[in-house]
């Protein structure tokens, strides 16, 4: 079936582009000694995670326990949860995963986390594994000083928790549009992570895992001594926001197929609104860039640009999401496409698993 025969709005996932992006990332890391544990926050789909593991990823990174449960059900891992597990309900879910034999490492950033984790371990009889999240300059979560990190590592060891290392994320790089200052910011962030790692080594607690980085910093991180693995997520589907940070490297694997409803003098309207397309990273464009979804209401997009002159009602058009992750999170399935033909349908099992 031709993909343009599908009902709209719906997500198309171009398998050739996914394969290209996966191979490009793996080739960029070849010989660096730095491994990839791609972030599930982007694909949220076990079939894609399996492709990444088959391509050489050493495991999968997640943000949420719900995502970890999806992977566990699919038998995929080992899992690094680059986020904290907070509160007794979630601690119990983590212990349940461990009881199933799932290899999952979670991130702690405070004494509070370690206390909750050791209480969960005591109640369940499980032995959790943890890395310490360090603040690489993003001012989100994470320890601030190497001394704090060393103290937390000691606390983990004393509590009988399997201490595995540290993680940081230099996500503040995306606020810096210019390449040279962004390079300096990334290097400073990775340097900060490494200072925590060095302090741990000096204290006799060398980290086995030093995990960092998103899709726009893997090049620098893979050439930075001390970093052992990367958490990049977006590269696998790519989107127009990331194209600004990694120009010409990755292909757009994810598009939203929509139907033109009406065409007027200065604009057209299609059936993709904010319930099927996100706009938190700005407007989405057509594949050829000739028009954009300038304004979204719940079920409609206003299309503007020279390309609208060629549109007619009932026509199907593809939009490249400006932010793939927040767009796909609104959907339940990928219509998997190869050379324009629908070859499969993959459920987005991790969509909206935000607990």
Ligand X SMILES: Cc1ncc(COP(=O)(O)O)c(C=O)c1O
Question: Which residues form the interface with ligand X (CB under 6 A)?
Answer: 39, 41, 82, 169, 171, 214-216, 231-235
Nearest approach, Cβ of residue 271 and ligand X (Å): 28
First to last CA, the chain: 36
How many angstroms separate the CA atoms of 122 and 171, rounded?
Answer: 35
Residue 224 is classified by DSSP as S
Q: Which stretches of 74-165 are DSSP H helices?
A: 88-99, 111-124, 146-158
Nearest approach, Cβ of residue 169 and ligand X (Å): 4
Nearest approach, Cβ of residue 310 and ligand X (Å): 34
Nearest approach, Cβ of residue 140 and ligand X (Å): 8
User: Considering beta carbons, is residue 268 or 325 the nearer one to ligand X?
Assistant: 325
User: Considering beta carbons, is residue 70 or 317 the nearer one to ligand X?
Assistant: 70
User: Considering beta carbons, is residue 207 or 307 the nearer one to ligand X?
Assistant: 207
Instruction: Please work out, in degrees rounded to the nearest 5, the angle formed at the alpha carbon of residue 11 by the alpha carbons of 10 and 14.
Output: 140
Nearest approach, Cβ of residue 168 and ligand X (Å): 8
Enclosing H/E stretch for 20: helix 15-29
How many alpha carbons lie under 13 Å from residue 275 in its C-beta half-sphere?
Answer: 8
For 108, other C-beta atoms within 10 Å of its C-beta total 26
Q: Would you tell me the crossing angle of helices 88-99 and 111-124 to the nearest 10 degrees?
A: 50
Burial 250-267 (b: 16+ CB within 10 A, else e): bbbbbbbbbbbbebeeeb
Which residue's Cβ lies closest to ligand X? 214
User: Considering beta carbons, is residue 194 or 213 the nearer one to ligand X?
Assistant: 213
Nearest approach, Cβ of residue 233 and ligand X (Å): 4
Nearest approach, Cβ of residue 325 and ligand X (Å): 7
How many angstroms separate the CA atoms of 355 and 353, rounded?
Answer: 6
User: Considering beta carbons, is residue 9 or 233 the nearer one to ligand X?
Assistant: 233
User: Considering beta carbons, is residue 121 or 185 the nearer one to ligand X?
Assistant: 185
How many angstroms separate the CA atoms of 63 and 167, rounded?
Answer: 13
Nearest approach, Cβ of residue 247 and ligand X (Å): 15
User: Considering beta carbons, is residue 79 or 270 the nearer one to ligand X?
Assistant: 79
User: Considering beta carbons, is residue 39 or 335 the nearer one to ligand X?
Assistant: 39
User: Considering beta carbons, is residue 194 or 231 the nearer one to ligand X?
Assistant: 231
Nearest approach, Cβ of residue 148 and ligand X (Å): 19
What the block records as the tokens of 197 is 């790692």
For every residue of 68-82, DSSP letters joined together read HHHHHHTT---EEE-
**Radius of gyration of the chain from its Cα atoms, rounded to whole angstroms:** 22
What is the bridge-based pairing of β-strands 104-108 and 79-81? parallel
């Amino acid at each position: 079936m031709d993909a343009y025969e599908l009902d709209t709005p719906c997500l198309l996932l171009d398998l050739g582009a996914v394969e290209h992006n996966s191979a490009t990332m793996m080739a960029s890391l070849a010989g660096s000694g730095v491994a990839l544990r791609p972030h599930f926050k982007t694909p949220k789909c076990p079939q894609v995670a399996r492709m990444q593991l088959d391509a050489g990823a050493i495991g999968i990174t997640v943000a949420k326990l719900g995502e970890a449960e999806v992977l566990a059900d699919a038998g995929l891992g080992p899992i690094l949860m680059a986020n904290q597990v907070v509160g007794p309900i979630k601690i119990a879910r983590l212990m349940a995963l461990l009881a199933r034999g799932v290899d999952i490492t979670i991130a702690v950033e405070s004494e509070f986390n370690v206390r909750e984790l050791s209480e969960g371990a005591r109640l369940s009889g499980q032995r959790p594994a943890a890395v310490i999240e360090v603040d690489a300059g993003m001012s989100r979560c994470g320890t601030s000083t190497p001394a704090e990190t060393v103290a937390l590592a000691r606390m983990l060891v004393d509590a009988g928790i399997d201490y595995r290392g540290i993680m940081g994320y230099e996500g503040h790089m995306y606020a810096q549009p210019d390449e040279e200052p962004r390079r300096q910011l990334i290097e400073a962030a990775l340097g900060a992570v490494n200072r925590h790692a060095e302090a741990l080594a000096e204290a006799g607690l060398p980290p086995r895992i030093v995990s960092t980085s998103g899709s726009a910093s893997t090049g620098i991180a893979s050439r930075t001594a001390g970093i052992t693995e990367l958490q990049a997520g977006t590269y696998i589907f790519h989107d127009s926001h990331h194209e600004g940070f990694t120009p010409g490297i990755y292909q757009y694997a994810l598009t939203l197929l929509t139907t033109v409803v009406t065409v007027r003098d200065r604009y057209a309207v299609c059936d993709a609104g904010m319930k099927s397309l996100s706009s938190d990273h700005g407007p989405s464009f057509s594949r050829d860039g000739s028009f954009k979804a300038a304004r979204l209401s719940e079920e409609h997009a206003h299309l503007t640009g020279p390309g609208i002159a060629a549109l007619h009602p009932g026509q199907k058009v593809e939009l490249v999401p400006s932010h793939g992750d927040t767009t796909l999170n609104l959907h339940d399935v990928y219509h998997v496409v190869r050379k324009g033909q629908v070859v499969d349908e993959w459920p987005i099992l991790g969509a909206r698993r935000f607990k």
